Protein backbone atom coordinates (compact mmCIF):
# COMPACT_ATOMS: atom_id res chain seq x y z
CA UNK A 1 0.00 0.00 0.00
CA UNK A 2 1.20 3.49 -0.86
CA UNK A 3 -0.28 6.83 0.25
CA UNK A 4 -0.63 9.91 -1.92
CA UNK A 5 -1.61 13.39 -0.72
CA UNK A 6 -3.67 15.63 -3.01
CA UNK A 7 -5.55 18.88 -2.57
CA UNK A 8 -8.88 18.50 -0.81
CA UNK A 9 -10.66 20.76 -3.32
CA UNK A 10 -10.11 22.93 -6.36
CA UNK A 11 -9.05 22.40 -9.94
CA UNK A 12 -5.80 20.63 -9.05
CA UNK A 13 -7.75 18.12 -6.99
CA UNK A 14 -10.20 17.53 -9.84
CA UNK A 15 -7.42 17.08 -12.40
CA UNK A 16 -5.49 14.72 -10.12
CA UNK A 17 -8.51 12.51 -9.50
CA UNK A 18 -9.45 12.58 -13.19
CA UNK A 19 -5.97 11.36 -14.17
CA UNK A 20 -6.09 8.58 -11.61
CA UNK A 21 -9.53 7.59 -12.86
CA UNK A 22 -8.28 7.48 -16.46
CA UNK A 23 -5.43 5.30 -15.21
CA UNK A 24 -7.88 2.83 -13.69
CA UNK A 25 -7.31 3.99 -10.11
CA UNK A 26 -10.82 4.66 -8.87
CA UNK A 27 -11.53 6.60 -5.68
CA UNK A 28 -15.05 6.54 -4.26
CA UNK A 29 -15.91 10.24 -4.44
CA UNK A 30 -19.39 9.71 -3.00
CA UNK A 31 -17.86 8.75 0.34
CA UNK A 32 -15.01 11.26 0.39
CA UNK A 33 -13.16 11.31 3.70
CA UNK A 34 -9.94 12.81 4.99
CA UNK A 35 -8.35 9.48 4.04
CA UNK A 36 -9.81 7.29 1.28
CA UNK A 37 -8.72 4.07 -0.38
CA UNK A 38 -8.66 3.21 -4.07
CA UNK A 39 -11.10 0.53 -5.14
CA UNK A 40 -8.74 -1.61 -7.22
CA UNK A 41 -5.20 -0.37 -6.64
CA UNK A 42 -2.96 -0.49 -3.52
CA UNK A 43 -3.32 3.24 -2.87
CA UNK A 44 -4.64 5.52 -0.13
CA UNK A 45 -5.54 9.14 -0.88
CA UNK A 46 -4.98 11.77 1.79
CA UNK A 47 -6.89 15.04 1.20
CA UNK A 48 -5.04 18.13 2.43
CA UNK A 49 -4.53 21.86 1.91
CA UNK A 50 -2.06 22.41 -0.91
CA UNK A 51 0.52 24.15 1.29
CA UNK A 52 0.53 21.19 3.73
CA UNK A 53 1.34 18.57 1.09
CA UNK A 54 5.13 19.06 0.66
CA UNK A 55 5.77 18.90 4.42
CA UNK A 56 3.56 15.86 4.90
CA UNK A 57 5.42 14.04 2.12
CA UNK A 58 8.81 15.11 3.49
CA UNK A 59 7.89 13.78 6.94
CA UNK A 60 6.79 10.41 5.51
CA UNK A 61 3.15 10.71 6.58
CA UNK A 62 2.43 10.39 2.86
CA UNK A 63 4.68 8.65 0.36
CA UNK A 64 3.64 10.76 -2.63
CA UNK A 65 1.90 14.02 -3.37
CA UNK A 66 0.48 15.94 -6.29
CA UNK A 67 0.86 19.66 -5.71
CA UNK A 68 1.83 22.84 -7.48
CA UNK A 69 5.59 23.29 -7.81
CA UNK A 70 5.11 26.76 -6.34
CA UNK A 71 4.25 25.12 -3.00
CA UNK A 72 7.32 22.88 -3.15
CA UNK A 73 9.50 25.92 -3.83
CA UNK A 74 7.90 27.96 -1.04
CA UNK A 75 8.21 25.30 1.66
CA UNK A 76 11.67 24.16 0.59
CA UNK A 77 10.63 20.60 1.48
CA UNK A 78 13.29 17.94 0.95
CA UNK A 79 11.34 15.77 -1.48
CA UNK A 80 11.96 14.25 -4.89
CA UNK A 81 10.10 15.78 -7.82
CA UNK A 82 9.24 12.63 -9.75
CA UNK A 83 7.66 14.34 -12.75
CA UNK A 84 5.71 17.27 -14.06
CA UNK A 85 2.03 16.40 -14.48
CA UNK A 86 1.12 18.62 -17.43
CA UNK A 87 -1.76 20.45 -15.73
CA UNK A 88 -2.23 23.24 -13.21
CA UNK A 89 0.02 25.65 -15.07
CA UNK A 90 0.49 29.10 -13.52
CA UNK A 91 3.24 31.54 -12.57
CA UNK A 92 4.33 33.50 -9.54
CA UNK A 93 4.62 37.13 -10.56
CA UNK A 94 5.06 40.61 -9.18
CA UNK A 95 2.36 43.15 -10.00
CA UNK A 96 1.99 46.87 -9.37
CA UNK A 97 -0.81 49.44 -9.84
CA UNK A 98 -1.41 49.85 -13.57
CA UNK A 99 -0.84 53.63 -13.58
CA UNK A 100 2.72 53.31 -12.27
CA UNK A 101 5.80 53.12 -14.51
CA UNK A 102 7.99 50.06 -13.99
CA UNK A 103 11.75 50.57 -14.26
CA UNK A 104 13.06 47.10 -13.38
CA UNK A 105 13.70 45.14 -10.16
CA UNK A 106 15.08 48.19 -8.35
CA UNK A 107 11.55 49.61 -8.50
CA UNK A 108 10.75 47.43 -5.48
CA UNK A 109 13.54 48.83 -3.31
CA UNK A 110 11.94 49.97 -0.05
CA UNK A 111 8.46 49.02 -1.27
CA UNK A 112 5.90 47.02 0.70
CA UNK A 113 5.09 43.77 -1.14
CA UNK A 114 2.13 41.62 -0.07
CA UNK A 115 2.38 37.89 -0.74
CA UNK A 116 1.49 34.39 0.36
CA UNK A 117 4.90 33.22 -0.89
CA UNK A 118 7.44 35.12 1.24
CA UNK A 119 10.27 32.60 0.83
CA UNK A 120 10.21 32.51 -2.97
CA UNK A 121 9.95 36.29 -3.06
CA UNK A 122 12.78 36.81 -0.54
CA UNK A 123 15.08 34.56 -2.60
CA UNK A 124 14.34 36.52 -5.78
CA UNK A 125 14.87 39.87 -4.05
CA UNK A 126 18.25 38.70 -2.72
CA UNK A 127 19.27 37.61 -6.20
CA UNK A 128 18.33 41.04 -7.53
CA UNK A 129 20.10 42.87 -4.70
CA UNK A 130 16.85 44.53 -3.66
CA UNK A 131 15.71 45.22 -0.11
CA UNK A 132 11.94 45.43 0.35
CA UNK A 133 9.34 45.03 3.07
CA UNK A 134 7.67 41.64 2.60
CA UNK A 135 4.21 41.48 4.14
CA UNK A 136 2.79 37.98 4.36
CA UNK A 137 -0.95 37.80 3.70
CA UNK A 138 -2.95 34.60 3.37
CA UNK A 139 -5.63 35.13 0.75
CA UNK A 140 -6.95 38.15 -1.19
CA UNK A 141 -3.43 39.41 -1.84
CA UNK A 142 -4.57 41.31 -4.93
CA UNK A 143 -6.60 43.85 -2.93
CA UNK A 144 -3.59 44.92 -0.83
CA UNK A 145 -2.51 47.95 -2.91
CA UNK A 146 -6.06 49.35 -3.12
CA UNK A 147 -6.46 48.88 0.63
CA UNK A 148 -3.19 50.69 1.34
CA UNK A 149 -1.62 47.56 2.85
CA UNK A 150 1.14 47.27 0.24
CA UNK A 151 2.66 48.99 -2.78
CA UNK A 152 2.85 45.80 -4.88
CA UNK A 153 1.92 42.14 -4.74
CA UNK A 154 3.60 38.81 -5.46
CA UNK A 155 1.04 36.14 -6.23
CA UNK A 156 -0.11 33.32 -8.48
CA UNK A 157 -1.18 34.42 -11.96
CA UNK A 158 -3.04 32.24 -14.46
CA UNK A 159 -4.93 34.34 -17.00
CA UNK A 160 -4.19 37.70 -15.41
CA UNK A 161 -7.86 38.61 -15.22
CA UNK A 162 -7.82 39.02 -11.44
CA UNK A 163 -4.96 41.50 -11.68
CA UNK A 164 -6.78 43.59 -14.27
CA UNK A 165 -9.99 43.64 -12.24
CA UNK A 166 -8.02 44.99 -9.28
CA UNK A 167 -6.22 47.70 -11.25
CA UNK A 168 -2.87 45.89 -11.34
CA UNK A 169 -0.40 44.92 -14.03
CA UNK A 170 2.12 42.07 -14.09
CA UNK A 171 5.73 43.28 -14.34
CA UNK A 172 8.00 40.38 -13.35
CA UNK A 173 7.54 36.61 -13.60
CA UNK A 174 9.65 34.93 -10.93
CA UNK A 175 8.60 31.28 -11.15
CA UNK A 176 6.73 29.14 -13.68
CA UNK A 177 4.76 26.40 -11.99
CA UNK A 178 2.55 23.41 -12.71
CA UNK A 179 1.39 20.36 -10.82
CA UNK A 180 4.19 17.95 -9.96
CA UNK A 181 4.27 14.45 -8.51
CA UNK A 182 6.57 14.42 -5.49
CA UNK A 183 7.86 11.52 -3.41
CA UNK A 184 9.47 11.24 -0.02
CA UNK A 185 13.11 10.26 0.07
CA UNK A 186 13.96 6.58 0.54
CA UNK A 187 10.88 4.74 -0.71
CA UNK A 188 11.27 1.05 0.00
CA UNK A 189 11.31 -1.50 -2.80
CA UNK A 190 7.65 -2.48 -2.46
CA UNK A 191 6.40 1.13 -2.57
CA UNK A 192 8.72 1.99 -5.44
CA UNK A 193 7.21 -0.92 -7.38
CA UNK A 194 3.70 0.49 -6.80
CA UNK A 195 4.89 3.95 -7.87
CA UNK A 196 6.37 2.46 -11.05
CA UNK A 197 3.01 0.81 -11.83
CA UNK A 198 1.24 4.11 -11.30
CA UNK A 199 3.69 5.96 -13.57
CA UNK A 200 3.23 3.29 -16.25
CA UNK A 201 -0.52 3.91 -16.18
CA UNK A 202 -0.10 7.68 -16.16
CA UNK A 203 2.18 7.40 -19.20
CA UNK A 204 -0.43 5.38 -21.06
CA UNK A 205 -2.99 8.12 -20.43
CA UNK A 206 -0.80 11.13 -21.20
CA UNK A 207 0.80 9.52 -24.25
CA UNK A 208 -2.63 9.37 -25.92
CA UNK A 209 -3.32 13.08 -25.40
CA UNK A 210 -3.35 15.13 -28.58
CA UNK A 211 -3.38 12.03 -30.79
CA UNK A 212 -5.98 10.36 -33.03
CA UNK A 213 -6.29 6.88 -34.50
CA UNK A 214 -6.79 7.01 -38.26
CA UNK A 215 -7.66 4.20 -40.68
CA UNK A 216 -8.48 4.21 -44.37
CA UNK A 217 -8.60 2.26 -47.60
CA UNK A 218 -5.84 3.13 -50.04
CA UNK A 219 -4.60 1.79 -53.39
CA UNK A 220 -1.82 -0.76 -52.89
CA UNK A 221 0.53 1.08 -55.22
CA UNK A 222 0.21 4.21 -53.04
CA UNK A 223 1.04 2.56 -49.72
CA UNK A 224 4.73 3.48 -49.74
CA UNK A 225 3.87 7.16 -50.28
CA UNK A 226 1.19 7.02 -47.57
CA UNK A 227 3.62 5.51 -45.08
CA UNK A 228 5.88 8.53 -45.54
CA UNK A 229 2.93 10.73 -44.52
CA UNK A 230 1.96 8.50 -41.59
CA UNK A 231 5.11 7.30 -39.81
CA UNK A 232 3.11 6.24 -36.69
CA UNK A 233 4.81 5.14 -33.46
CA UNK A 234 6.87 2.45 -35.21
CA UNK A 235 5.24 2.06 -38.60
CA UNK A 236 1.63 2.00 -39.87
CA UNK A 237 -0.36 -1.23 -40.00
CA UNK A 238 -1.09 -2.28 -43.59
CA UNK A 239 -3.52 -5.11 -44.39
CA UNK A 240 -4.73 -6.32 -47.80
CA UNK A 241 -8.44 -5.97 -48.61
CA UNK A 242 -10.65 -8.46 -50.42
CA UNK A 243 -10.86 -5.96 -53.29
CA UNK A 244 -7.80 -6.47 -55.46
CA UNK A 245 -5.39 -3.55 -55.54
CA UNK A 246 -6.50 -2.08 -52.22
CA UNK A 247 -5.16 -2.10 -48.66
CA UNK A 248 -6.36 -0.94 -45.28
CA UNK A 249 -3.90 1.39 -43.54
CA UNK A 250 -4.01 2.16 -39.80
CA UNK A 251 -1.92 4.69 -37.91
CA UNK A 252 -1.74 7.22 -35.08
CA UNK A 253 -1.34 10.94 -35.81
CA UNK A 254 -1.00 14.13 -33.82
CA UNK A 255 -4.32 15.95 -33.75
CA UNK A 256 -2.71 19.24 -34.79
CA UNK A 257 -1.42 17.54 -37.97
CA UNK A 258 -4.60 15.58 -38.71
CA UNK A 259 -6.24 17.68 -41.42
CA UNK A 260 -3.06 18.35 -43.34
CA UNK A 261 -2.33 14.61 -43.46
CA UNK A 262 -5.90 13.76 -44.46
CA UNK A 263 -5.72 16.19 -47.38
CA UNK A 264 -2.45 14.67 -48.56
CA UNK A 265 -3.81 11.11 -48.19
CA UNK A 266 -6.96 12.02 -50.12
CA UNK A 267 -4.74 13.29 -52.90
CA UNK A 268 -3.15 9.83 -53.05
CA UNK A 269 -6.57 8.22 -53.46
CA UNK A 270 -7.38 7.27 -49.86
CA UNK A 271 -11.07 6.50 -49.23
CA UNK A 272 -13.30 5.67 -46.27
CA UNK A 273 -11.08 7.55 -43.83
CA UNK A 274 -12.11 7.06 -40.20
CA UNK A 275 -10.75 9.15 -37.32
CA UNK A 276 -11.21 7.64 -33.86
CA UNK A 277 -10.58 8.76 -30.30
CA UNK A 278 -7.39 7.29 -28.82
CA UNK A 279 -7.98 6.25 -25.22
CA UNK A 280 -4.61 4.82 -24.12
CA UNK A 281 -1.18 4.33 -25.70
CA UNK A 282 0.95 1.59 -24.13
CA UNK A 283 4.53 1.14 -25.29
In a domain, 126, yes or no: yes
Quote the Cα angle for 206-262-214, to 5°.
45
How crowded is residue 31: how many other Cβ atoms within 10 Å of its Cβ?
7
In a domain, 283, yes or no: no
pLDDT score at 31: 54
Q: Is the pLDDT reported for residue 231 higher than 80? A: no
pLDDT in tens, 100-143: 999 999 999 999 999 999 999 999 999 999 999 999 998 789 99
pLDDT in tens, 78-105: 999 999 999 999 999 999 999 999 999 9
Count of the separate structural domains present in the chain: 3
Instruction: Name every residue whose Cβ is closer than 8 Å to that of residue 211 and which is 6 or more positions away in sequence.
Output: 252, 253, 254, 255, 278, 281
215, 106: one domain? no
In a domain, 235, yes or no: yes
Q: Is the pLDDT reported for residue 75 higher than 80? A: yes
77, 96: one domain? no
Maximum CA extent, the chain: 82
Range of the domain at 123: 90-177
On whether the CB atoms of residues 187 and 80 are closer than 8 A, the answer is: no
Amino acid sequence: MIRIAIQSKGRLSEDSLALMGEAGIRIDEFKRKFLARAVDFPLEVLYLRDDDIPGVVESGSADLGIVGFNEVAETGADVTVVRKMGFGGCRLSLAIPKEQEYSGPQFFSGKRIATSYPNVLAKWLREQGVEADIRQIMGSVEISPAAGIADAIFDIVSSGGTLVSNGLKEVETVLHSEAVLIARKGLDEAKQAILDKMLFRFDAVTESEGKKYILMNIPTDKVSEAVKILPAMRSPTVMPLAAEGWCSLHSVVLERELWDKIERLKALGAEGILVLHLDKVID
